[in-house]
Amino acid sequence: MSTFRVVLAIILLAIGMLFILLSVIGVFRMKFVMNRMHAAALGDTCGLLFMILGLITISGFTFTSLKLLGVLVLFWLTSPVSGHLLSNMVKSTMNSDLTVHADQKELENKAK
């Protein structure tokens, strides 16, 4: 295995882990449910892309690479659909607790 391939794979894996880490931070930092879902979906999709590209680079272009690409395609087909269904469910059952920020709730409770 060449040094260039290993370095490229490490860079791709690091970028993938960075996307996933930023996604986790975004999920905890965002206040609104839809923003949290958006951060999670984008982080998962981009993070998985770079992680699988890094694994393909390490393993070389073999049958294992084809299986990894199959996992990526399957994830890319199912993740947006599940995110869309969840956001529609949240939108249809939305109440005031989901739309009000935590700071506003505290102010309203203090005012009472």
pLDDT in tens, 19-56: 999 999 988 888 877 788 888 888 888 999 999 999 99
Q: What is the pTM of this model?
A: 0.73
DSSP character at residue 62: S
User: How many folded domains does the chain comprise?
Assistant: 1
In whole angstroms, give the CA distance from residue 4 to residue 23. Answer: 29
Domain range for 43 is: 3-111
- Position 40 scores a pLDDT of 84
Q: Which of 16-20, 41-45, 69-73, 92-96 has the lowest mean pLDDT?
A: 92-96
Q: How far apart are the first and last CA of the chain?
A: 68
Is residue 16 pLDDT above 80, yes or no? yes
17 or 82, greater pLDDT: 17
Exposure of 106 in the CB half-sphere (CA atoms within 13 A): 3
In whole angstroms, give the CA distance from residue 46 to residue 24. Answer: 13
